[in-house]
Structure 1
Amino acid sequence: MSTIFQTRTIAGVPLLLAMPDDAAGPLPAVLWFHGFGVDKETHRKELRQLAEAGFVAVGVDAAGHGARRLPDLDARQAAPHAQALRTMIELAWRTADEVPALVRGLVEEGLADGGRIGVTGVSMGGYVVYAAVLTEPAIRAAVSILGSPEWPEGDSPHRHLDGFRRTALLSVTAERDENVPPAAARELHRRLAEAEPDSAMHRYVELPGAVHLMSEEHWNRAMDETLRWLSLHLR
């Protein structure tokens, strides 16, 4: 099976679409959100993996990134940690707020099955995932890799436990991650398990010894977990 890539703009959002060349009818769609400072092209390999697994993979340029990159984004990223985090969270919220219109656009154009929508993100993209689950009820499956549901300012996603109970949520963290410590995601899943002890809708994976810029071995494990989870809940 080969993969077709298309660059599109839907609902005002620049996208890189990857889909199987033999796709027939709307497929389950997975929106992929990148990290702080990069863009939708960064994860072309992962988009191809998703397409090969039978999904329409939708690489999203986050707000202020890629084709709509802020002119001072480099300076904002290089700012002191608290200031850079504030910028990242602001852009993560803006990106998550675009998800409902983006999902509608994908469905209206016949590119996605509206009953099988998933989201995945890495680092800043993992933050976007936690917010997107709260803003778009159509999301059936979500994977946050190296993200946090607990934000230092504003209406932090971790305060809305009920919003995560309707979505199949996988969180993958790195045990030794100093950029995004795993404690907040671990605690969210503890609370979800406490609320619904027998639910198979939530899974937490903490990669032993892994750091934020993880090794190839750890990244492959994260992707294996991601593909299994999305296939289980969307296909």
Structure 2
Amino acid sequence: MHSPFVAVERLEIAGIPTLKLTPKGIAGKLPTLIYYHGWTSNKDNQIFRLLAFVTFGMQVFAPDAIHHGERGTIDYSAPGLEQYFWETIIQNVQESSLIVDTIVAKYQADSARMGVMGHSMGGFTAAGVFATNPHLKALVAFNGSCAWLQMEEFLEKGPDPAALKKRLAQYDLLNNKDCLRQRPVLMLNGGSDTTVPVDSQRWFYEQVAPLYQDCPERLQLQEFPGVGHFIEVYMLERAVAWFKEYL
């Protein structure tokens, strides 16, 4: 998709195929977002929704996850592939610091105005990235979970539950809630989502709300009645407003 107002480039950051969307005609450092796609999707499927952020002056980077897009695909419905779900998320998180450092060094990213977001599996990823990159300023999770350990009890996607939970605990935002430091967190969930039910986000909200008692507006969970496991336009509108306020 071509736009007279947005430049779309294909990059490789440390070997990771990544889309870069930048508003044209703006010099200097830019508020910058990293967007993570969901399970079975890829970066190229996200361009239209990412334009919403770029038209408001933000730069966006969207990497492909392993087993997705240009990094190769698998039969996502095949038996036994559940283990790849968390492995993909964990690798996304482990790769994130290098992505952040590179876009700050090379691509006009303002290190003081950076945020992360994602949908579904990408929402899980964004929460983990927020936990492990404490200089990121704001988080938006669409239909994801910021409470990995609690969510794994519902998903049961690992062959070795004890070993998996030990790994998840390293990156689970709720398990590392001290890193939040009242940074803005917005959770947008479909009220009728049966793929990633909103329950874990409610649990996360209840557990971390005391940390935001001096600034409750910085921690928001918004449920959309009748909405399933997808992003509605008004959810995008809410996310754009969030980043405009906090970046």
Return the TM-score normalized by structure 1: 0.89
Would you say 1:148 and 2:162 are equivalent positions? no
Residue 47 of structure 1 contacts residue 58 of structure 1 at CA under 8 Å; is this kept in 2? no
Two-structure CA RMSD over aligned residues (Å) = 1.6
Residue 54 of structure 2 aligns with an amino acid whose one-letter code is A
Residue 5 of structure 1 contacts residue 17 of structure 1 at CA under 8 Å; is this kept in 2? yes
Would you say 1:180 and 2:196 are equivalent positions? yes
Would you say 1:223 and 2:236 are equivalent positions? yes
Residue 172 of structure 1 aligns with an amino acid whose one-letter code is L
- 2:86 alignment partner, one of 89, 95, 102: 89
- 2:18 alignment partner, one of 15, 18, 26: 15
Deviation of 1:130 after TM superposition, in Å, equals 0.9
Residue 229 of structure 2 aligns with an amino acid whose one-letter code is H
Q: Aligned partners of 1:189 and 1:10: how far apart in 2? A: 34
CA separation of 1:108/1:45 partners in 2, compared to 1, >3 Å: closer, same or farther?
A: same
* 114-123 or 59-68, larger mean C-alpha shift: 59-68
Q: Aligned partners of 2:59 and 2:44: how far apart in 1? A: 16
CA deviations over 1:158-181 (Å, ceiling 9, x no partner): 322222334211011111111001
Unaligned 5+ segments in structure 1 are none
Partner of 1:119: 116
SS in 2 for 1:14: strand
Q: Aligned partners of 2:6 and 2:212: how far apart in 1? A: 39
Q: Aligned partners of 2:100 and 2:133: how far apart in 1? A: 8
Residue 25 of structure 1 contacts residue 110 of structure 1 at CA under 8 Å; is this kept in 2? no
Residue 85 of structure 2 aligns with an amino acid whose one-letter code is M
Give 1:102-141 correspondences, 5 Å limit.
Answer: 102-141=99-138
Unaligned 5+ segments in structure 2 are 153-163
SS in 2 for 1:7: strand
* 157-166 or 20-29, larger mean C-alpha shift: 157-166
Deviation of 1:186 after TM superposition, in Å, equals 1.2
Q: Aligned partners of 1:14 and 1:26: how far apart in 2? A: 23
CA separation of 1:12/1:175 partners in 2, compared to 1, >3 Å: closer, same or farther?
A: same
Deviation of 1:195 after TM superposition, in Å, equals 3.0
- 1:205 alignment partner, one of 207, 222, 226: 222
Q: Aligned partners of 1:211 and 1:112: how far apart in 2? A: 34
CA separation of 1:123/1:6 partners in 2, compared to 1, >3 Å: closer, same or farther?
A: same
SS in 1 for 2:137: strand
Return the TM-score normalized by structure 2: 0.85
Would you say 1:161 and 2:177 are equivalent positions? yes
Deviation of 1:63 after TM superposition, in Å, equals 2.4
Partner of 1:35: 38
Deviation of 1:2 after TM superposition, in Å, equals 0.7
Q: Aligned partners of 2:147 and 2:220: how far apart in 1? A: 17
Q: Aligned partners of 1:196 and 1:213: how far apart in 2? A: 28
Q: Aligned partners of 2:211 and 2:226: how far apart in 1? A: 29
Percent identity, please. 26
Deviation of 1:85 after TM superposition, in Å, equals 4.1
Partner of 1:59: 62
Partner of 1:232: 245
Give 1:186-197 correspondences, 5 Å limit.
Answer: 186-197=202-213
SS in 2 for 1:139: coil
Q: Aligned partners of 1:231 and 1:67: how far apart in 2? A: 31
Q: Aligned partners of 1:135 and 1:183: how far apart in 2? A: 24
